[in-house]
Amino acid sequence: GQNIDQPTEMTATEGAIVQINCTYQTSGFNGLFWYQQHAGEAPTFLSYNVLDGLEEKGRFSSFLSRSKGYSYLLLKELQMKDSASYLCAVMDSNYQLIWGAGTKLIIKP
């Protein structure tokens, strides 16, 4: 079966760095997406990785290793507004998105 695993919840301190991991097992691979979802709101697109390596976009970076079925989202210089759920999603061979359950990130002052 298809499976996406990510931690349920993480806590970090304002100004620090946090890494949210995602491992996946899917039938085929056409890319991995990270989304941010604040409580009560719809998800917003953060990043897309289809090749191995690190993609940097401001304070957020996303890494992919296809051979390991592994990705992480790295958030630097954490701000209180970064408190949200972070969703990992993999596009399989049928171009269907398989969603992880999300990681709730709590930022403390």
Partner 1 sequence: GAVVSQHPSRVICKSGTSVKIECRSLDFQATTMFWYRQFPKQSLMLMATSNEGSKATYEQGVEKDKFLINHASLTLSTLTVTSAHPEDSSFYICSARDREVQPQHFGDGTRLSIL
Residues that bind partner 1 (CB under 8 A): 30-31, 33, 40-45, 48, 50, 87, 91, 95-97, 99-102
71 closest CA partner among 10, 18, 4, 1: 4
Cβ partners under 8 Å of residue 80, min gap 6? 14, 107, 109
Least Å distance, CB 66 to partner 1, is 15
Least Å distance, CB 91 to partner 1, is 7
Cβ partners under 8 Å of residue 109, min gap 6? 13, 14, 80
Least Å distance, CB 44 to partner 1, is 7
Nearer to partner 1, 58 or 109 (CB): 58
> Using CA atoms, how far apart are residues 73 and 22, in angstroms rounded to an integer?
8
Nearer to partner 1, 17 or 106 (CB): 106
Nearer to partner 1, 36 or 75 (CB): 36
